[in-house]
């Protein structure tokens, strides 16, 4: 099979993984090296596909042959999809070629499971080793690890990769057992815990070494080699939304547990997408994509806005986030007793709960009010969505009036009901991107 | 080489900076004006390129028509300060200076006046440095963001094409059209990333070239100076076509992050129309197709799968 045909199959097979981040790596460049590549903190999105997703990494499978039978997956053993397999060298060459063209930040390599988890993981690690050791490649590498692979292989993967991930796939162990019979939820979590341990250890020893370097500067003291990095970009995971019956409350509870327990950098939510040759056991239609978007917004609230997961989805809503409005606005409307928030006196935690105010705006408000009183006109200067913010705040020259008392807020913000967009319908309004989740 | 001319009458001081991104010239002139107590409403800022088009500006004859093309580099007439440089320049936050250094790269003709006004106000209004919501500061921040975004988009959307060189090596050449005067300021990023490559980035303002050792700055270029697609680019197009999920078409989101003005220089953008048009049909076909009966083409025994690589 020619390379072009393999690439078509193995890129197609990888596109259901939502992650494409290339951030979090330790800053480095290729000055003084033998090869090419750099990472400077935040990643770069080199292109966007018509599905609105960023293309930052060459995201491919080493092979889409797979022994497992995860029902939601296009590569499962029982799927009739066409199969292909790259050689290690082919992946290395593609990565370097795309990188030289400045099309990518690096490689995100995953694989179907062939022969055995260890055999597969070994090949995946070999790609990273060749890139790093033979080509001195200093771009980004994200490896998808296989939970049943041996701890030694995982350890080696972490030495070459900037980021590691294992997908938990489904929000609950029951869901996983039903849809991915060969996968073991407990084993996945054990792997995550082990990697979290390695990541923390490596950080700790690098910190200690840096500390020691500053304190001990005895003449003639031997310089030790730098403590090794282990996946400095941390680990991430992905959950499929809408392939089983798990509600948003359950999904967010799982995320909170993953963030807390394993210090994950990101949990990705991937609305179950219709795949060619779908199993009969699955819903054929996709969940509305806006549900995925609301989950990302809720996730943001947990990570940056001080919300606890159980606050975000009230039990009485049937455990689901509102599709009509973002979760922060929904929370504010459900808690009129907490508003209006006085922009000149309220603590930071409360400013963060105002719909339409992002972290950056809040910090600027806090700085300004130390030297003077914040006014209505300042909000325009901040370019925040006034319609959203004004009903919830008061300033020297603005009070929200009766809107808050009268319970009219719900009506004020209600958007006219629109039909749930069909998957792929071009008319579907595009939800805002994550970077500007709350403006 | 960053020179500015300053001409003063009682009412107005006119500063003509050497070129569009003359940061050093601006700093020197601003420092002198500030020390001389010249308030911002009495100062007018021009660059050599503006001067070429302004019949009333001093020195327009010398700058000549070439100044417009070479604005990013051409030094103007030599700087003759009204007053000796002050012993202690006014102290401003380092972050403010860094921001101004980027804002110089913006194409907004009002940038120098804005920066001088802010400098003046910082020196005379002690509260200003603590007030990020001040309209002048917000304006500066807005310009800064636009420059940063443009630099980021250039890092993202430059596409190199390999061209063989006489010595058997390869030169990677890209054509890019930035919104602002960022080409030279952005070149070190590419040098850090592609240190062991030889490359050149050509833009309508300037060109930069890395020979593996050092950066060289060159004249403005034209699109036709850059090479056409090569055979290897086809693999990138294959990747782009196949990483797209037709069940999730979101063109607005794509355009927001990859505005259409960049498309003409992105090889993959030629595919967008076709991919978008066929997405609905492909997606409907997937949803409507009945669940298939699994044909276990690969037995689940270890070793069997690997024995059938699709070679
Ligand atoms: S292990 Fe499951 S999810 Fe992974 S490729 Fe195989 S079938 Fe797909």
**CA A68 – ligand 1 centroid, Å:** 6
Check CB contact under 8 Å for B127 and A98.
Answer: no
Is A419 an interface residue toward B (CB < 8 Å)? no
Lowest-confidence region among A30-44, A178-192, B293-307: B293-307
Task: Give yes or no for residue A66 CB within 6 A of ligand 1.
Answer: yes
Q: Whose CA is nearest to atom 4 of ligand 1?
A: A112
Atom of ligand 1 nearest to the CA of A66: 6
Region A17-31: mean pLDDT is 85
Per the model's pLDDT, the better-predicted residue between A224 and B178 turns out to be B178
Contact B103, B111 (CB under 8 A): yes
Measured between CB atoms, which of B239, B244, B280 is closest to A426?
B280
Residues 107-146 of chain A whose Cβ lies under 8 A from any Cβ of chain B: 112, 114-116, 119
Report the alpha-carbon distance of residue A391 to residue A387 in Å, rounded.
7
How many residues would you count in chain A? 439
Residue A53 pLDDT > 50: yes
Lowest-confidence region among A7-16, A91-100, A268-277, A294-303: A268-277
- Å from A147 to nearest chain B CA? 17
Check CB contact under 8 Å for B295 and A33.
Answer: no
What is the token pair recorded at B214?
A: 């050092």
Check CB contact under 8 Å for A29 and B193.
Answer: yes
B41: three-class secondary structure by DSSP: helix
Measured between CB atoms, which of A1, A52, A284 is closest to B311?
A1
What is the token pair recorded at A1?
A: 């099979």
Complex ipTM: 0.85
Contact A37, A146 (CB under 8 A): no
Atom of ligand 1 nearest to the CA of A13: 5
**CA B244 – ligand 1 centroid, Å:** 20
Pocket test for ligand 1, best of A14, A17, A18, A66 (most atoms within 8 A of CB): A66
Is A52 an interface residue toward B (CB < 8 Å)? yes
pTM of the predicted structure, to 2 decimals? 0.85
> pLDDT tens string for chain B (311 positions)?
445 777 766 688 999 999 999 999 999 999 999 999 999 999 999 988 765 554 444 433 333 333 333 333 333 333 333 444 444 556 788 999 999 999 999 999 999 999 999 999 999 998 898 898 899 999 999 999 999 999 999 999 999 999 999 999 999 999 999 999 999 999 999 999 999 999 999 999 999 999 999 999 999 999 999 999 998 999 999 999 999 988 888 999 999 999 999 999 999 999 999 999 998 888 878 777 766 665 554 444 433 333 333 32
Report the alpha-carbon distance of residue B243 to residue A7 in Å, rounded.
10
For B266, nearest residue in chain A (alpha carbons): A47
Q: Using an 8 Å CB-CB cutoff, list chain B residues near A428.
A: 249-250
Q: Using an 8 Å CB-CB cutoff, list chain A residues near B251.
A: 50, 52, 426, 430
Q: Whose CA is nearest to atom 2 of ligand 1?
A: A70
CB neighbours of residue B290 within 10 Å: 8
Check CB contact under 8 Å for A67 and B172.
Answer: no
Check CB contact under 8 Å for A430 and B250.
Answer: yes
Task: Give yes or no for residue A70 CB within 6 A of ligand 1.
Answer: yes
Chain B interface, best mutation among A5, A22, A102, A112, by max B CB count within 10 A: A102
Residues 237-266 of chain A whose Cβ lies under 8 A from any Cβ of chain B: none
Lowest-confidence region among A92-101, A133-142, A151-160, A419-428: A419-428
- Residue A169's region, left for phi above 0, alpha for psi from -120 to 50, else beta, is left
Residue A225 pLDDT level (bands cut at 50, 70, 90):
low
What is the token pair recorded at B162?
A: 């390999």
What dihedral angle (degrees, nearest 10) is formed by the CA atoms of B137, B142, B144, B145?
140
């Amino acid at each position: 099979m020619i390379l072009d045909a393999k690439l078509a199959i193995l890129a197609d097979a990888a596109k259901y993984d939502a992650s494409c981040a290339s951030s979090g790596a330790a800053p480095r460049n290729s000055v003084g090296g033998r090869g090419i590549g750099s990472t400077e903190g935040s990643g770069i999105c080199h292109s966007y596909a018509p599905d609105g997703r960023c293309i930052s990494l060459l995201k491919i499978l080493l092979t889409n042959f797979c022994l497992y039978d995860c029902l939601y997956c296009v590569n499962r053993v029982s799927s009739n999809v066409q199969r292909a397999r790259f050689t290690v060298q082919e992946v290395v060459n593609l990565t370097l070629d795309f990188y030289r063209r400045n099309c990518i930040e690096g490689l995100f390599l995953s694989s179907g499971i062939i022969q055995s988890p260890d055999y597969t993981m070994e090949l995946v690690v070999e790609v990273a080793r060749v890139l790093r050791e033979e080509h001195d490649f200093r771009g980004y590498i994200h490896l998808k690890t296989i939970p049943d692979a041996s701890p030694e292989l995982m350890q080696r993967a972490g030495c070459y990769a900037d980021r590691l991930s294992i997908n938990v796939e489904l929000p609950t162990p029951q869901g996983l057992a039903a849809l991915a019979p060969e996968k073991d939820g407990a084993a996945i979590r054990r792997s995550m815990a082990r990697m979290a341990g390695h990541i923390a250890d490596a950080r700790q020893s690098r910190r200690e070494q840096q500390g020691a370097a500053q304190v001990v500067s005895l003449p003639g003291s031997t310089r030790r080699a730098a403590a090794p990095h282990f996946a400095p970009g941390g680990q991430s995971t992905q959950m499929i939304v809408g392939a089983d019956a798990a509600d948003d409350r359950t999904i967010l509870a799982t995320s909170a547990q993953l963030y807390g327990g394993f210090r994950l950098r990101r949990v990705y939510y991937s609305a179950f997408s219709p795949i060619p040759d779908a199993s009969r056991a699955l819903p054929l239609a996709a969940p509305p994509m806006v549900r995925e978007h609301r989950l990302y917004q809720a996730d943001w609230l947990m990570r940056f806005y001080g919300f606890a997961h159980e606050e975000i989805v009230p039990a009485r809503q049937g455990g689901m986030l509102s599709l009509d409005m973002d979760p922060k606005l929904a929370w504010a409307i459900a808690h009129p007793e907490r508003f209006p928030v006085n922009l000149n006196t309220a603590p930071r935690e409360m400013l963060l709960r105002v719909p339409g105010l992002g972290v950056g705006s809040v910090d600027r408000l806090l700085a300004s009010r130390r030297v003077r009183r914040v006014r209505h006109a300042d909000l325009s200067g901040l370019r925040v969505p006034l319609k959203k913010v004004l009903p919830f705040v008061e300033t020297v020259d603005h009070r929200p009036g009766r809107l808050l008392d009268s319970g009219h807020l719900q009506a004020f913000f209600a958007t006219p009901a629109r039909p749930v967009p069909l998957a792929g319908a071009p008319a579907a309004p595009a939800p805002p991107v994550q970077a500007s989740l709350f403006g | 080489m960053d020179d500015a001319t300053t001409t003063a009458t009682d009412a107005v001081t006119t500063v003509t900076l050497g070129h569009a991104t003359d940061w050093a010239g601006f700093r020197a002139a601003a420092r002198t004006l500030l020390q001389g107590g010249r308030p911002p409403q009495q100062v007018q800022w021009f660059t050599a390129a503006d001067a070429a088009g302004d019949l009333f500006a001093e020195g327009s004859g010398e700058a000549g028509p070439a100044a417009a093309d070479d604005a990013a580099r051409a030094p103007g007439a030599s700087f003759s300060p009204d007053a000796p440089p002050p012993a202690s320049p006014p102290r401003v936050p380092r972050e403010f200076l860094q921001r101004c250094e980027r804002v110089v790269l913006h194409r907004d003709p009002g940038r120098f006046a804005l920066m001088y006004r802010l400098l003046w106000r910082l020196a005379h209004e002690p509260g200003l440095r603590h007030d990020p919501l001040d309209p002048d500061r917000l304006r500066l921040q807005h310009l800064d963001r636009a420059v940063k975004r443009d630099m980021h988009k250039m890092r993202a959307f430059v596409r190199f094409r390999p061209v063989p060189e006489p010595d058997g090596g390869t030169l990677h050449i890209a054509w890019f059209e930035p919104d602002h005067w960022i080409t030279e300021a952005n070149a070190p990023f590419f040098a850090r990333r592609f240190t062991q490559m030889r490359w050149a980035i050509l833009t309508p303002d300037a060109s930069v070239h890395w020979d593996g050792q050092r950066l060289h700055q060159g004249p403005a270029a034209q699109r036709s100076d850059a090479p056409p697609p090569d055979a290897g680019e086809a693999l990138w197009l294959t990747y782009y076509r196949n990483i797209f999920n037709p069940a999730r078409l979101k063109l607005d989101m794509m355009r927001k992050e990859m505005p259409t003005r960049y498309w003409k220089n992105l090889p993959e953008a030629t595919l967008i129309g076709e991919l978008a048009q066929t997405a609905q049909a492909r997606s409907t076909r997937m949803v409507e197709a009945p669940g298939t009966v699994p044909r276990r083409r690969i037995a689940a025994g270890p070793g069997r799968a690997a024995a059938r690589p699709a070679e």
